Structure 1
Amino acid sequence: MTDTLAPSYDPTEFETRLYQQWESSGVFKPSGKGEPYTVLLPPPNVTGTLHMGHAFQHTLMDALVRYHRMRGFDTLWQMGSDHAGIATEMVVARNLALEGNGETRDSLGREGFIGKVWDWKRHSGDTIERQMRRLGTSGDWSRSVFTMDPMAAEAVVEAFVRLHEQGLIYRGQRLVNWDPVLKTAISDLEVVNEEEDGFLWSIRYPLSDGSGSLVVATTRPETMLGDSAVMVHPDDERYASLVGRTVTLPLTGREIPVIADAYVDREFGTGVVKVTPAHDFNDYQVGQRHALPLINIFTPDATVNDVAPEQYRGLDRYEARKAVLADLEAQDLLVETKAHKLQVPRGDRTGQAIEPYLTDQWFVKMDGLAKRGMELVERGDVRFVPANWINTYRHWMENIQDWCISRQLWWGHRIPAWYDEAGRIYVGRDEAEVRAKHALGADVSLSQDNDVLETWFSAQLWPFSTMGWPNPELMAERGFDRFVPSSVLVTGFDIIFFWVARMIMATDHFTGQVPFRDVYITGLVRDSHGQKMSKSKGNVLDPLDLIDGISADALVAKRTTGLMNPKTAPKIEKATRREFPEGISAFGADALRFTMAALAGPGRDIKFDLGRAEGYKNFCNKLWNATRFVLMNTEGARFDGLPQPVTDAERWILARLDATAAEAAQHFAAYRFDLLAQSLYEFAWNDFCDWFVELAKPALNGGDEAAASSTRHTLLHVLERLLSLLHPLVPFVTEALWQQVAPRLGIDGDTIMLRPYPQGGDIDDAGHADAGADVEWLKAMVTALRRVRSELNVAPARQVTLLLAGASARDRALTTRFETSLRFLTRLERIDFIDDAASAPAAATAVVGELKLLVPLEGLVDLGAERTRLDKELKKVDGEIAKSQGKLASDTFVSNAPAAVVEQERKRLADWNLQRGALAAQRAKLG
């Protein structure tokens, strides 16, 4: 046996070491040869850490990259990270507060704060990249791009200036999602809508002529201070005569019109609603249709401004609500207050309610870009996998709005626009260009726009900003013409519009190319119960904890630290200790990766179960032990070329290897990682480890040197090819084992990563097909006999007699041919043919096709004791069956017990019945 392969599988002993060898060797870089194959890493936030969604998607990307690298493609996995404006500002501001020296974002000023952000990025910002390496990510780190790097920044400025010159970027006043804590506009993706308990208030709005009133229902009475109208449905006969008249807006004295619009739901409340265009997105659209004034009553921090009546100015929006309601009640205008469920939009960073807010922002006109983006996908230039995601893409693109791209932050790409003292706007690549282009002398004072571009603006340029655009020299250096378009983008469905669609539109607009050929859409990784993983639920799993292990105490601390609602900590701790009383053991990166691949069904969310990871760790261990067996039995051997099989078992395993390789190629092409994992698992575990290793033993120990030598060669060859097949999914264990196997096959090279990936389809001759059918017969015989031995509790070393009845000519021929293997693998003393099973002595029976296998019981077991034991077992099982049947016959139990409990009882009954059938059959054999 080799002395360089450890006696047991322990991923902590070699995974980190192997990764360092790979990266230092430069094997992750493009080779410059072969057809290009490019994958773009969706750039994770520089603030981030590796989470289960990352681990899932990165595993699939890495599998694709490793597969194509082994197939000889010029493979590039473009790495990088995103500056993540809001998230990064929050992290650095929080760190400043923790330092306790009195420094804040505002006290430092813009330049000082940005300096702190860069310091943080240099020292802590590459955490996720270190974690990605631990997972086995084989990307070209030497080409990694940060979205604030000079190359990427040049692309952002160029894109903005060109779009502005083309009339596609403009500045205007519009309603946006506004976070009053961060004091910036945010995207829809950063808004979480949560159902909460609230109230619906009914308020009386008097008609201006004193002839009556209208009752309006609202969930936000404070915004009535900014009402521009009240609205009814045009077909609502109750209010038809009032349309065109006015009401006096309570608490303000302003007169506002009664308008009609089909947006109104006649069944909601009284069928009359208030219209506040500056503080509600739907009302804004109504306001545009009816040319209503936009009355903003809030400041950037959501306090009431000077437009409102004096008594409310300076109040927080919720304090203003209390004051408004109190004043309405005092004036007998508050008709009703009732509980009401409502959707509250909250910022995902701050947890604060988002305010629809009217501000001046920069926008991109999207209609023309969207039309072109839709055309590219509809005609197949970009393909969605699974294909049904095109419907989501189409829906968003057909309902597109102009895109708000400005953010009121300091960290990010500052908008390349300057203002003179009169407020005129000048856009250019820098101030010098602006002055030259507009002939502005030194006496004209210019100040740059304080806003930065939202992160998605730079992210949309990722396919070509990473390739040096717009600099021709950098584009040539980085291989723009070779690596654009990329081959596939692997991403989640939740950013099809926010990122995927924008990359399609931007890449086409600026380069005339599509950004990628395929978009493989993954589902979300959920917990084992199907719940979304979130810190507030306390069900988050850290991939690094699964790879390297974590104690129960450390896991509890991780899940309960920094909760938005600390009161939930005891509940989370209790649930965590119940689920992980011993913490989480180390599974290694390979077991986690194989789990992710095996669960990656087409586009569906996956329930992550630690039991699967444990099973795939066992799979890696099985592979390790099988390799140790092969190495032990090929010590000192060295073979060249392909094996020339001598035995049927060899021909069978070579045919199975060929078929499995062909299946793998099909599954990779279709992005069916689940079927790929299943196919490779079954071949490795069942065909190779369980069967071929067993079938090889008679040849290795049978005295036929030709068969023994050929079998050794085939063992090594199939193992080496199996390791290559598995490598994209489980790179570490396959590399560790391959380095021991390869030298015995005369294979030169330092890494399995550059071995050709088996493609299959090479074996189609009848000899292999016949051998396969014959070996399947042998496998069926061995399985049947082992089952008989197990049922009879025959000791492993005890030899038995086999009687064969009803044998066909083929059965007789195969029995003669495989007699040595049958006797070796099932511990047979002898094999006899008989004419009639009825004339045989008392025997345990099994059937293979038409052939009856009989194992005489006399002398093998104490028949009387065995009958007694089985009768006892049957009585016990009958009791359990009666108990279970009684429960299920009870209407009280079936009606009142939880559905899961009832279903569990039905399963128990089915299991007991199966067990009884097996015991009864065994008892019948004994007479």
Structure 2
Amino acid sequence: MRFMKVDETYDPTRVESDWYEFWTEKGFFKADANSEKPPYTIMIPPPNVTGSLHMGHALFVTLQDLLIRWKRMQGYEALWLPGTDHAGIATQVMVERQLAKEGTDRHELGREAFIERVWEWKREHGGRIIDQLKHMGASCDWDRERFTLDEGLSKAVREAFVTLFEEDLIYRAERMVDWDPVGQTVLSDLEVDREEEPGKFWYMRYPLADGSGHIVVGTTRPETMLGDTAVAVHPDDERYASMIGKMIDLPIVGRQIPIIADTELPDPEKGTGAVKVTPAHDPNDFECGKRHDLELIQVIGFDATMIAPAPKEFVGLDRYEARKLVIKRFEELGLLEKIEDRPFAPGRSSRTGVIVEPLPMLQWFVKGKPLADPAIEAVESGQTEIIPEVWKKTYDHFMYNIRDWCISRQLWWGHQIPAWYCQECDEVIVTREDPTACTACGSDDIKRDEDVLDTWFSSALWPFSTLGWPEKTPELEKFYTTQVLETGFDILFFWVARMMMMGIHFMDEVPFEKVFLHAMVRDAEGRKMSKTSGNVIDPLHMIYGAKAEELDPAIHAELLRQYPEGVDPQGADALRFTLAIYAAQGRDVKLDIKRIEGYRAFLNKLWNGARFALMNLEDFEPAAYTTFDGDWQKGEAPFDLSAISTADKWILARLNDTIQTVESALDGFRFNEAAQELYHFVWGAFCDWYIELIKPTLYEDGEAFAAQGNATRGVLLYTLDVILRLMHPIAPYITEDIWQSLPRGEGGPESVMVSTWPKVRPELAFTDERAAMETLIELITAIRAIRGETNVKPGQTIEEVFFVTEDAAQARIIEAGAAYIQRQARVDAVRVVSREEGDALSAAATAVAAGVDIRIPLAGLIDIEEERARISKELDRVRDDIAFVSKKLGNEKFVARAPEAIVAKEREKLAAYQEELATLEKSLAEIEALAASNKA
């Protein structure tokens, strides 16, 4: 038998220091492609190689590790495949900043030297995010770690590109794209942030060429008027019906442009109803230009300066300097109608922060619709289920309205596009192997496309490229299709939908059976965490603690406000439990640091409960313990069912319910419900009730109590063992630490993580005993409440408690459980009486619980005058509180202007004060009745 004592106090730093190394050394995280067990596969959403652990990562690690540990315990061949993304633009920008500090740039280095410099950075720093995931307890199969620029994945990317090109699903064409003038690359939609900020809206007069008047257009970008090729109005807008077809003398430029009728671009209800059309600098204008065959006149270059054919005085100016000059010229010409302050949401590069420039460019595209249609059908038919279901509508909207995907990026770091251009005959050569000559004319004068692929292209292949595709590997056969993808809702289209499209196209099977989309982690007030807001919560600070001097006053301002001396270590388990209990479907996680402290206290409660159990199990020989993991032969339990008490039967029945509730919740991805059930069972049922209920049994001496004592010890051990297994997927470290200290026979599992998942055992239902104990607990709770309300001293024993009931079954429960009531409520005598006898009692505190009237005579229990004064003082205070809050809520301006959350808190306060008032008034009435009876 192995037995180790747990420390006297729970120290998460100590508890979490060694077990990860133990798990990895034992190979518990590894998955076997040749196993006959059913597979359960999760592909980690690969964090950027440049990344650092944030709360979004912490959430997905918690939920995915929870699932993988749970399924591993259920007997699945569980593979959680880890890896990182090469993060094209983010990584290149980071290395370019380093070069700038050294006084050089990538162009001076040259492409090959620059790429080698990035690889050096990756080798030195790229493992940081992986190490941080390990601090969270991630049980990934690290031997299978992948990187999107690995040789195998690069081969998969090239195969996918060439195949799609051969199938006419990849093409090259001129389209409108978002251009980063600082990063000098096209950006994907995900790399462009659009947040509202203050701005201006200029109304400008465009004179009609026939001299009959002018038309007023509004714009947020006056500088683009230099490239206008039309003004669009709605054909049903009567204000402009007579102008359609007329020409405009475009100010400053001197060109004439038409007034056209268009049903899509102009909205008669917005602005003036007339819209300037600049097809070369706005995506909506670009589409309008295609509808009306308008000329593309580009006046802003790739460096965001003005270029010809803009008038000479503008050429070379920065676009914002050009804006000022355009406004100045319009003022001089008397053509500036007015200027309004108006918020707008410009697209900003998420990497450089610069406002992007929409430009028409020759780029590579993937056709959307042919790939989207099968992916739509896969979700419609139920092959893939999206959870929560509300996100299916978003998925459908994206997919039904899909546009062709621009996949080329003007970067050096990434998968270089496998296309070559013949300098002799202009042939485009796309091949699996690097060509040496043109396939059309034979010329060896060929040049490779310098662009790289959008990072999302390689990410879209992640579920199968990581398993060896395009080769037919045992891993691919075993672990594809994956069982679940767990990720954030914000990349539903950018990543999830694209994996669906590519997976179905190349594998002819969906990449995952279920998609669970978690919400965003925000601060306690519901604000997005950001460095500028000063509300960032670093997971590692929560796990290991941080001194005040280690915290950035700007980034961690909110944390320092709450913890000016720094934050104590809470541990990965506490953070994981907090995130799990917050993870309600469809709701953002509003992370309150105090809750992390609260769940650390919960783990401390478990620790203390386990210590109590272990101290009482030191000399216990668990003969049947090795059968805990399997079926009990012939109904044999690891304790004597004939000797166990009502309290034992109650906890076993409650434990059965908890097993069922937790498993059902996890099956439905209701992580919060699973965590809440464990919290209430461990804290309430096990620690607060069961341990207290069995103490007399454990402490009794003599042969008469030996059988029941041993049986109770068996129940205590079994219950703690099951608790640890149920909690292990959420809180792996503390459960392993305690589980290793349990007394058990040799030959069992080496770790709780490779023990079997608990099962509901019908023979432990104990329906009658459970109901009886629930009744007794309600009665004990009511007596304790009366003690508190009447200010009976904690150590004082109540001489007699009367239970008024005409229900014979209830009476039997009370009489049989009298010992429990006496010990837990500090009562000398328990009496069951009739209604008539109960009504005859005077000056008694009363309560109703479990359908039973409880009467406690107060004479001799309390000092009447002292208690009357105390309650009166409390009544004055609570009435003042009610008046103050009522006045605030009666202020219409406060209710209308204050944030909804603040108003709700005030209403909650009022309800609590009113409830407190009712309790105090009841207590005072009982005191007055007692005083009156004493006088009589």
Do both proteins adopt the same fold according to a TM-score greater than 0.5, normalized to the shorter chain?
Answer: yes
Distance 1:38 1:701, change over 3 A: same
- For 1:49, what is the secondary structure of its paired residue? coil
> When the two structures are superposed, what TM-score results if normalisation uses the length of structure 2?
0.92
Of the three residues 526, 532, 540, the one matched with 2:528 is 532
- For 2:552, what is the secondary structure of its paired residue? helix
Whether 1:116 and 2:117 are equivalent positions in the alignment is yes
Match of 1:75 in 2: 78
Give the Å deviation of 1:885.
5.8
Q: Mean Cα displacement is larger for which, 67-76 or 856-865?
A: 856-865
Whether 1:779 and 2:777 are equivalent positions in the alignment is yes
- For 1:16, what is the secondary structure of its paired residue? coil
Distance 1:108 1:902, change over 3 A: closer
Match of 1:300 in 2: 302
Preserved contact between residue 656 and residue 764 of structure 2 (Cα < 8 Å): no
Distance 1:749 1:439, change over 3 A: farther
Match of 1:626 in 2: 609
Letter in 2 for 1:819: A
Give the Å deviation of 1:15.
0.8
Q: Mean Cα displacement is larger for which, 597-606 or 213-222?
A: 213-222
Match of 2:281 in 1: 279
Give the Å deviation of 1:726.
0.7
Match of 1:30 in 2: 31
Distance 1:434 1:850, change over 3 A: same
Letter in 1 for 2:691: V
Distance 1:487 1:203, change over 3 A: same
Give the Å deviation of 1:868.
4.3
Which runs of 5 or more structure 1 residues have no equivalent in the other structure? 561-571
Letter in 2 for 1:343: A
Q: Mean Cα displacement is larger for which, 215-224 or 794-803?
A: 794-803
Alignment of 1:671-690 (within 5 A): 671-690=669-688
Q: Mean Cα displacement is larger for which, 15-24 or 828-837?
A: 828-837
Alignment of 1:157-236 (within 5 A): 157-236=158-237
Give the Å deviation of 1:239.
3.1
Whether 1:592 and 2:575 are equivalent positions in the alignment is yes
Distance 1:627 1:895, change over 3 A: closer
Match of 1:758 in 2: 758
- For 2:585, what is the secondary structure of its paired residue? coil
Distance 1:434 1:664, change over 3 A: farther
Q: Matches of 1:760 and 1:376 in 2, distance apart?
A: 35
Letter in 2 for 1:249: L
Q: Matches of 1:387 and 1:431 in 2, distance apart?
A: 44
Q: Matches of 2:916 and 2:207 in 1, distance apart?
A: 79
Letter in 2 for 1:293: E
Preserved contact between residue 5 and residue 614 of structure 2 (Cα < 8 Å): no
Give the Å deviation of 1:656.
1.1
Q: Matches of 1:898 and 1:156 in 2, distance apart?
A: 50
Preserved contact between residue 803 and residue 834 of structure 1 (Cα < 8 Å): no
Distance 1:900 1:729, change over 3 A: closer
Distance 1:719 1:423, change over 3 A: farther
- For 2:331, what is the secondary structure of its paired residue? helix
Deviations 1:890-914 (A, max 9, x none): 8898789887777666555543433
Whether 1:94 and 2:97 are equivalent positions in the alignment is yes
- For 2:197, what is the secondary structure of its paired residue? strand
Match of 2:826 in 1: 827
Alignment of 1:270-349 (within 5 A): 270-349=272-351
- For 1:242, what is the secondary structure of its paired residue? coil
Match of 1:237 in 2: 238
Q: Matches of 1:630 and 1:818 in 2, distance apart?
A: 23
Match of 2:696 in 1: 698
Q: Matches of 1:371 and 1:152 in 2, distance apart?
A: 26
Give the Å deviation of 1:828.
3.2
Q: Mean Cα displacement is larger for which, 650-659 or 754-763?
A: 754-763
Of the three residues 39, 48, 51, the one matched with 2:42 is 39
Which runs of 5 or more structure 2 residues have no equivalent in the other structure? 625-637, 931-936
Q: Matches of 1:886 and 1:38 in 2, distance apart?
A: 58
Deviations 1:183-229 (A, max 9, x none): 11001111112323333333333334445443333222211221222
Preserved contact between residue 789 and residue 920 of structure 2 (Cα < 8 Å): no
Root-mean-square deviation over aligned CA pairs: 2.5
Letter in 2 for 1:296: Q
Alignment of 1:706-717 (within 5 A): 706-717=707-718
Give the Å deviation of 1:349.
1.2
Q: Matches of 1:17 and 1:281 in 2, distance apart?
A: 56
Preserved contact between residue 548 and residue 565 of structure 2 (Cα < 8 Å): yes
Give the Å deviation of 1:884.
5.8
Match of 2:449 in 1: 449
Match of 1:669 in 2: 667
Q: Matches of 1:28 and 1:896 in 2, distance apart?
A: 54
- For 1:341, what is the secondary structure of its paired residue? coil
Preserved contact between residue 527 and residue 539 of structure 1 (Cα < 8 Å): yes
Distance 1:328 1:924, change over 3 A: closer
Letter in 2 for 1:699: T
Alignment of 1:354-433 (within 5 A): 354-422=356-424, 424-429=426-431, 432-433=434-435
Q: Matches of 2:776 and 2:604 in 1, distance apart?
A: 27
Q: Matches of 2:881 and 2:97 in 1, distance apart?
A: 61
Preserved contact between residue 461 and residue 506 of structure 1 (Cα < 8 Å): yes
Give the Å deviation of 1:869.
3.8
- For 2:377, what is the secondary structure of its paired residue? helix
Q: Matches of 2:140 and 2:302 in 1, distance apart?
A: 43
Q: Matches of 2:728 and 2:149 in 1, distance apart?
A: 35
Q: Matches of 1:587 and 1:637 in 2, distance apart?
A: 33
- For 1:192, what is the secondary structure of its paired residue? strand
Match of 1:65 in 2: 68
Q: Matches of 2:544 and 2:397 in 1, distance apart?
A: 43
Match of 1:563 in 2: none
Preserved contact between residue 183 and residue 301 of structure 1 (Cα < 8 Å): yes
Deviations 1:697-728 (A, max 9, x none): 12213341111000001000010001101111
Q: Matches of 2:309 and 2:897 in 1, distance apart?
A: 60
Match of 1:566 in 2: none
- For 2:678, what is the secondary structure of its paired residue? helix
Letter in 2 for 1:260: A
- For 1:744, what is the secondary structure of its paired residue? coil
Q: Matches of 2:849 and 2:501 in 1, distance apart?
A: 63
Letter in 1 for 2:76: F
Deviations 1:436-480 (A, max 9, x none): 855735xx22221110001011010001110111123xx23xx10
Distance 1:848 1:367, change over 3 A: closer
Deviations 1:353-389 (A, max 9, x none): 1110111111111121111211111111111011121
Whether 1:718 and 2:701 are equivalent positions in the alignment is no
Report the identity percentage: 45
Letter in 1 for 2:68: V
Q: Mean Cα displacement is larger for which, 307-316 or 890-899?
A: 890-899
Q: Matches of 2:662 and 2:906 in 1, distance apart?
A: 40
Q: How many equivalent residue pairs?
A: 903
Preserved contact between residue 533 and residue 540 of structure 1 (Cα < 8 Å): yes
Match of 1:579 in 2: 562
Preserved contact between residue 421 and residue 446 of structure 1 (Cα < 8 Å): yes
Q: Matches of 2:218 and 2:825 in 1, distance apart?
A: 82
Give the Å deviation of 1:679.
1.2
Match of 1:484 in 2: 480
Letter in 2 for 1:231: A
Deviations 1:111-166 (A, max 9, x none): 11111111111111111111111111111111010000000000001111111111
Give the Å deviation of 1:280.
0.6
Letter in 2 for 1:118: W
Deviations 1:485-540 (A, max 9, x none): 10000111211111111111111111111110000011111110011111121111
Q: Matches of 2:428 and 2:534 in 1, distance apart?
A: 50
Of the three residues 69, 85, 106, the one matched with 2:88 is 85
Letter in 2 for 1:273: V
Preserved contact between residue 231 and residue 274 of structure 1 (Cα < 8 Å): yes
Letter in 2 for 1:817: A
Match of 2:5 in 1: 4
Give the Å deviation of 1:420.
2.2
